[in-house]
């Protein structure tokens, strides 16, 4: 196990104490949770996706409608990374904590399916998923797996087997509404939780970034594990600015073994 400073170790133990005392713990995860699995985040300087591309130019609903080839050309390298990625130690630790009853639900901004691959069951996907594709003409939904490999390997744009329309990944692009059912459930869980842990999120994308405030306003404790500070570090009971893949397994270990 990675050696921690005395300050970090104390923060890990405090976080574990909060989880042990909780009955309705919820986790909010962002792109930083998946960077140890080889998937780039969006805002890190030099490596983030938006340090190389203008998001509204490549990842908006308008771009998809007017120039789908441009979207798919941008999306292909990311799809390949997601297609080949495996859960890291943080995903696995969260899945184990959910299985043991320490975590009630995971609200995620990620589209990579790594929580589910690790074994988590109650995952609320705020920005959609790559597991399915929907036809832009007849709206028929298809499982993505059979289309992903040809797209990743040869750049084949997926088309509907029923009408021939272009299939859009069921991820939320700029200019699209959040999935209403997921958003309502995320708000309910945030308002009812007694502990919320933010893991790998810079809390910069609204409205999801407001969920921890909803939890705090109703008396919940807040744990933040992220490489960089967030706007809520000053309100958090625990804020650890280190690698999620090291810290979250350490918190889980302390929850189980004290």
**Among all residues, which ones are annotated catalytic?**
127
Q: Is 27 exposed, middle or buried (0-12, 13-18, 19+ CB in 10 A)?
A: buried
Helix (H) or strand (E) holding 215: helix 211-217
* Three-class DSSP category at 48: coil
Q: Which residues partner with 108 through β-bridges? A: 29, 125
Q: Which residues contact 236 (CB under 8 A, 6 or more apart)?
A: 222, 223, 224
Number of helices and strands (H, E) in the chain? 10, 9
* HEC string for 151-163: HHHHCCCCECCCC
For tokens 């700029």, what's the residue? Answer: 174
């Amino acid at each position: 196990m990675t050696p921690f400073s005395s300050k970090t170790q104390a923060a890990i133990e405090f976080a574990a104490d909060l989880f042990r005392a909780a009955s309705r713990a919820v986790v909010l995860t962002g792109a930083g949770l998946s960077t140890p699995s080889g998937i780039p985040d969006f805002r890190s300087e030099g490596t983030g996706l938006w340090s190389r591309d203008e998001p509204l130019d490549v990842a908006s609903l308008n771009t998809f409608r007017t120039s789908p080839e441009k979207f798919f050309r941008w999306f292909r390298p990311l799809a390949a990374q997601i297609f080949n990625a495996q859960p890291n130690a943080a995903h696995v630790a969260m899945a184990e904590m959910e299985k043991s009853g320490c975590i009630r639900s995971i609200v995620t901004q990620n589209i990579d399916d790594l929580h589910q691959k690790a074994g988590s069951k109650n995952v609320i996907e705020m920005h959609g998923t790559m597991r399915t594709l929907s036809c832009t003409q007849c709206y028929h939904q298809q499982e993505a797996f059979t289309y992903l490999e040809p797209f990743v390997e040869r750049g084949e744009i997926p088309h509907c087997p029923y009408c021939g329309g272009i299939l859009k990944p069921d991820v939320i692009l700029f200019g699209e509404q959040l999935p209403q059912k997921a958003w309502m459930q995320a708000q309910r869980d945030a308002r009812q939780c007694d502990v919320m842990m933010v893991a790998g999120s810079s809390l910069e994308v609204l409205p999801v970034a407001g969920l921890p405030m909803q939890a705090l306003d109703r008396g919940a404790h807040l744990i933040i594990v992220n490489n960089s500070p967030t706007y809520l570090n000053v309100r958090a009971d625990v804020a650890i600015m280190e690698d999620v893949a090291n810290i979250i397994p350490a918190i889980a270990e302390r929850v189980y073994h004290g």
